[in-house]
Amino acid sequence: MPRAQRAFVIATCAIIGGAFAYAACEWGQWPRMHYLPLEGELTFDPGSSGTAMVFWGIVLWGLGGLACGAIVGAVLVKLFPRPWTDRTLHLFGAWAITAILLTGGYFTWALWPW
């Protein structure tokens, strides 16, 4: 498998994993780190503080998903070492773009004033 194909597969798997984890941690209410700006603390239990910011916790889940996706991509290119067809590579690219659009759409919809 050419080096460019390996890099592409690993990168697209990383994007898919990162986008999934970024959205799934919010949707599934997974435990995440909170930043309390008035106290200047990082905690997993914000208590009754009304100013808890969860952005950094969501980003950490996204980075974890990115790392897991890259590992899955590395395993895939190791299991199937022959050059992949353009159709397969296009499929991986399409899934990566779809993952970004679905995650962006989910968070855009969450901002809608209901």
In tens digits, the chain (114 residues) has pLDDT values of: 889 999 999 999 999 999 999 999 988 888 888 888 888 888 887 776 678 888 888 899 999 999 999 999 999 999 999 999 999 999 999 999 999 999 999 888 878 776
Residue 100 domain-assigned (yes or no)? no
User: Quick one: how many helices (H) and strands (E) in the chain?
Assistant: 3, 2
User: Whole-angstrom Cα distance, residue 50 to residue 10?
Assistant: 40
How many domains would you assign to the chain? 1
User: Whole-angstrom Cα distance, residue 80 to residue 33?
Assistant: 38
Residue 45 domain-assigned (yes or no)? no
Residue 97 domain-assigned (yes or no)? no
Residues pairing with 34 in the sheet: 43
pTM: 0.85
Residue 76's domain comprises: 1-31+53-91
User: Whole-angstrom Cα distance, residue 49 to residue 16?
Assistant: 33
Residue 84 domain-assigned (yes or no)? yes
